[in-house]
């Protein structure tokens, strides 16, 4: 099986579904061409079998010629061997092209998702991404795979028609008229199937998004008693998807019935004409048997041809969705400055609020307005474009990779992937290659007060997290996210409420250890917790969208606005 290296940036023309599929055909042209050649050879060998059998009957059995019977019997055997060998090679090359196209599409979609970053979740629903990564990729691969059988079907139908016309023009004409007529009638069913499949695909994506939202927020739903309401809504939407699936199935059933009925009617008509031709001595009995074999044989190629049309139709629908996702542009683009432009250490500033974060210190920011902390973190980490700057250089002018490497934002939405905990906390871990845990991991676990989490797991750091670590509590998630951030060791760490889900004692421990672990490096914690604020070197109050006061926690308690915010006073 071929190997397909990472294609890197999207190089296929994704201006339309047709151009994208054409690009995939060009990328995998060798396997596709080989599949078509072997497919044609396989179908021609199968199509010639009835002719060989007819000759064996006429020249061997009726003429009582043993050598002729053995000769044509050997021809039938040879055709069967050719059919078997070329059929295997056809399917192998077709499958290679199918898997290659599907895998390459997966690489491009994954790379695009990585390039879009935070833009993806705002532009495409989760269900749509899941659908593209599963059903659509399979449909695109199926569209390329069917070219081998479809080409063989077309060539074999033409070959059989030529043989039949040269033998009996009446029978050949029946085939030449009957096959296009059947194809046209079946195509009439393909068009409504196309539209219904697209509507079903849209509804399936919406339902998948709903399921992801429910599973992701199950803890919250249970807390507010909203399980029944969301379950009822999910049931209603799933019924709507089921009805759409039934509509698709109705057309598919009619299509399947037509694929059996119409070739059967053609077979009956051709055999009826052939029987009259034998009685009139226009053809021999062997030729009648051959004609019957031709008409029975044609049911297969016609079915494959219509199946190819159906698969290509689904491939176009899937390619349209893939190209729509590949056409998305990230909201955040890399700046024009070359790598290495970011100097360290330097103050980090936010033009919107007027916040200035001095380098090498532990700064805590208390935001009075709900949502301001998350917005401020997005600006400082350049997850949204603003006038934020590092030193004298605006973040929007810096290479995005350098910003991501130097400024790390830890928010409440960070996720874990399924896999060993050690690899999730330390992507550079070498223990799998025979090394041991890096000492930095133990220090990070200590700083985040997360050692007890690891000790409680059945296999410690080797415990495999499942379902994004849903077996862990909210407080455990927070602490492990902080461990992962500390292992990244960024120049600037921006943490949004890093210990809001733990008890007061653990929160104080984390705040004290975090200040010690990050000594000499820039750390910004966005929080209203007095425990964390009291551990900071410098505290800034943001109210009304601007910096309203700054100093130490103890000094700012004299400010009414700050005191009410951090102590939850109501008057």
Burial of residue 237, with CB atoms counted within 10 A of its CB: 0-12 exposed, 13-18 middle, 19 or more buried: middle
| pLDDT value of residue 211 | 63
| pLDDT value of residue 134 | 72
Closest CA to 522 of 382, 365, 417: 365
| pLDDT value of residue 228 | 67
SS3 per residue for 360-409? CCEEEEEECCCCHHHHHHHHHCCCCCCCCEECCEEHHHCCHHHHHHHEEE
The pTM of the full predicted model, rounded to 2 decimals, is 0.63
Query: Do β-strands 393-394 and 538-543 pair in parallel, antiparallel, or remain unpaired?
Result: unpaired
Report d(CA 41, CA 39) in Å as an integer.
5
Report d(CA 514, CA 446) in Å as an integer.
9
In this structure, what token pair is assigned to residue 378? 């997005």
| pLDDT value of residue 494 | 95
Report d(CA 181, CA 262) in Å as an integer.
9
| pLDDT value of residue 351 | 92
| pLDDT value of residue 82 | 93
| pLDDT value of residue 38 | 94
Rounded to whole angstroms, what are the CA distances from 211 to 127, 214, 218, 235? 8, 5, 10, 11
| pLDDT value of residue 505 | 92
| Domains identified in the chain and CATH numbers | 17-326 (1.20.1560.10), 348-567 (3.40.50.300)
- pLDDT by 10s per residue, the chain, length 571: 455 555 444 467 777 888 888 888 888 889 999 999 999 999 889 888 888 888 888 887 777 778 888 888 888 899 999 999 999 999 999 999 888 888 888 888 888 887 777 667 777 766 677 777 777 888 888 888 888 888 888 888 888 878 877 877 777 777 767 777 776 777 676 666 656 666 666 666 666 666 655 555 555 445 455 566 666 777 777 777 777 777 777 777 777 777 778 777 877 787 788 777 778 778 777 877 787 777 777 777 877 887 888 888 888 888 888 888 888 887 778 888 887 777 678 899 999 999 999 999 999 999 998 789 999 999 999 988 888 999 889 999 988 888 888 999 998 777 788 888 888 888 776 554 444 567 889 999 999 999 999 888 888 888 888 766 777 888 888 999 999 999 999 999 999 999 888 899 999 999 999 999 999 999 999 999 999 999 999 999 999 999 999 999 999 998 999 999 988 765 4
- The 3-state DSSP class for residue 342 equals coil
Q: How many CB atoms lie within 10 A of CB 325?
A: 21
Cα–chain-centroid distance for residue 317? Answer: 15
Matching residue, tokens 């050598």: 67
Cα-only R_g, the chain:
34
């Amino acid at each position: 099986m071929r190997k397909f290296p990472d294609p890197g940036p999207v190089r296929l023309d994704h201006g339309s579904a047709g151009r994208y599929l054409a690009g995939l055909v060009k990328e995998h042209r060798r396997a596709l061409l080989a599949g078509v050649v072997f497919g044609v050879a396989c179908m021609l060998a199968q199509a010639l079998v009835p002719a060989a059998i007819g000759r064996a009957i006429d020249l061997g059995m009726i003429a009582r010629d043993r050598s002729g019977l053995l000769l044509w019997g050997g021809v039938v055997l040879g055709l069967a061997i050719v059919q078997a060998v070329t059929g295997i090679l056809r399917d192998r090359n077709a499958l290679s092209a199918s898997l290659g196209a599907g895998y390459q599409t997966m690489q491009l979609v994954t790379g695009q998702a990585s390039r879009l970053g935070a833009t993806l979740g705002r532009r495409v629903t989760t269900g749509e991404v899941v659908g593209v990564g599963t059903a659509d990729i399979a449909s695109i691969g199926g569209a390329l795979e069917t070219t081998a059988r479809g080409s063989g079907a077309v060539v074999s139908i033409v070959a059989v028609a030529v043989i039949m016309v040269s033998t009996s023009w009446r029978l050949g004409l029946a085939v030449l008229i009957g096959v296009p007529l059947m194809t046209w009638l079946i195509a009439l069913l393909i068009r409504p199937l196309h539209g219904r499949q697209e509507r079903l695909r849209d509804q399936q994506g919406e339902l998948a998004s709903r399921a992801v939202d429910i599973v992701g927020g199950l803890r919250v739903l249970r807390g507010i008693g909203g399980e029944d309401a969301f379950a009822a809504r999910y049931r209603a939407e799933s019924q709507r998807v089921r009805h759409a699936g039934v509509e698709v199935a109705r057309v598919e059933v009619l299509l399947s019935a037509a694929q059996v009925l119409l070739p059967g009617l053609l077979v009956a008509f051709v055999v009826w004409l052939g029987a009259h031709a034998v009685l009139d001595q226009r053809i021999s009995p062997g030729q009648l048997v051959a004609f019957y074999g031709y008409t029975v044989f044609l049911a297969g190629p016609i079915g494959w041809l219509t199946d190819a049309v159906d698969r290509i139709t689904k491939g176009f629908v899937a390619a349209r969705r893939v190209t729509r996702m590949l056409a998305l542009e990230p909201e955040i683009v890399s700046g024009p400055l070359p790598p290495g432009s970011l100097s360290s250490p330097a103050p980090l500033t936010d033009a919107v609020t007027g916040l200035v974060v001095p380098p090498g210190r532990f700064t805590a920011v208390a935001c009075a307005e709900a949502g301001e902390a998350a917005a401020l973190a997005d600006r400082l980490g350049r997850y949204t474009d603003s006038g934020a700057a590092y030193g004298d250089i605006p973040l929007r002018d810096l290479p995005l990779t350098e910003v991501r490497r130097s400024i790390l934002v830890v928010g409440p939405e960070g996720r874990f992937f399924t896999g060993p905990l050690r690899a999730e906390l330390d992507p550079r871990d070498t223990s799998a290659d025979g090394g041991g845990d890096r000492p930095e991991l133990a220090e990070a676990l200590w700083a985040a007060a997360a050692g007890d989490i690891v000790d409680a797991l059945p296999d410690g750091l080797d415990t495999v997290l499942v379902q994004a670590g849903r077996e862990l509590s909210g407080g455990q998630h927070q602490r492990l996210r902080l461990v992962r951030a500390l292992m990244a060791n960024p120049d600037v760490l921006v943490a949004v409420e890093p210990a809001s889900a733990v008890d007061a004692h653990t929160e104080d421990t984390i705040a004290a250890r975090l200040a010690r672990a990050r000594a000499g490096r820039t750390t910004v914690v966005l929080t209203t917790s007095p425990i964390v604020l009291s551990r900071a070197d410098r505290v800034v109050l943001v109210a009304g969208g601007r910096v309203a006061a700054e100093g130490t926690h103890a000094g700012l308690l004299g400010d009414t606005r700050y005191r009410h915010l951090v102590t939850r006073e109501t008057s």
